[in-house]
Homo-oligomer: A and B are copies of this chain.
Amino acid sequence: MERKNISLQTLRRLPVYLHYLRSVRQQYENISATFIAERLGLNDVQVRKDLASVSGSGRPKTGYRTDQLIGQLETYLGCNLRSPAVLVGSGNLGKALLAYNGFDDYGLEIIAAFDCAPERVGTTVVGKPILPMERLGPICADAHVQLGIITVPASSAQQVADELVAYGIRAIWNFAPTILRVPAGVQVENENLASSLAVLSRHFRTGAAENE
């Protein structure tokens, strides 16, 4: 299928549709955009448009064949591929991400973690090794790794990002509460937990309704 240029907002919703569809594939052979929209509490028109961008229009009345739609979403999201990733920083959050098996469903495989703490190096988490920082470069090169996950403290995050970029990483998933500077062509997604917390806290402390 031709890869269409869909918006970032649509792209962010596709895993949500996929997850929902997988959970109901036994129950519904066919499923309509309207039905999905209602179940997920989303706007009908938006869902229709999102799904059209990966699967064309559903049939009148019956909608999409559920299995086919799942397959198209999986293909679009690259779930059938295996993209190797490395993780730097094996503290609590790093370990949780290493142990989390949900990424497999989206085609991501964390092949190893790296840490500079000698007491962590040499151990494993769910069978995945925690290696010394000196191994980062060789492993990125050998496995053609393009995605790096940063779970080190903020104070060392930029240095780690610089190393990853030097080793050919093209996408960084940053969990450190800081802003990274990277060259053009490298994509950064920030998971800033403190920022989310700030939004939530203001809500319940002030009681103000947010206008998002």
Q: Which A residues form the contact surface with B (CB < 8 A)?
A: 3, 5, 8, 11-16, 19-20, 23, 40-42, 77-78, 81, 83, 92-93, 95-97, 99-100, 102-103, 105-108, 146-147, 154-155, 170-173, 177-181, 184-185, 187, 189, 191-212
Task: For A205, give its contact among B23, B81, B207 (CB under 8 Å).
Answer: B81
| Most B C-beta atoms less than 10 A away, residue of A3, A108, A203 | A203
Whether the Cβ atoms of B187 and A210 lie closer than 8 Å is: yes
Asked whether A12 and B147 contact (CB < 8 A) given A184-B209, A191-B191, A206-B3, the answer is: no
Whether the Cβ atoms of A178 and B108 lie closer than 8 Å is: no
Whether the Cβ atoms of B108 and A15 lie closer than 8 Å is: no
State the CA gap A77–B194 with chains docked (Å): 10
Q: Nearest CB to that of A126 among chain B residues?
A: B92
Asked whether A78 and B189 contact (CB < 8 A) given A93-B100, A108-B197, A177-B16, the answer is: no
Whether the Cβ atoms of A205 and B16 lie closer than 8 Å is: no
Q: How many copies does the complex hold?
A: 2
Task: For A100, give its contact among B40, B92, B208 (CB under 8 Å).
Answer: B92
Residues of B within 8 A of A40 (CB): 178-179
Whether the Cβ atoms of B179 and A200 lie closer than 8 Å is: no
State the CA gap A75–B132 with chains docked (Å): 40
Across the A-B interface, the 4 shortest Cβ-Cβ residue pairs: A96-B96, A15-B194, A187-B203, A12-B195
Residues of B within 8 A of A12 (CB): 192, 195-196, 198-199
Task: For A179, give its contact among B16, B173, B184, B206 (CB under 8 Å).
Answer: B16
Asked whether A199 and B147 contact (CB < 8 A) given A40-B179, A83-B205, A194-B19, the answer is: no
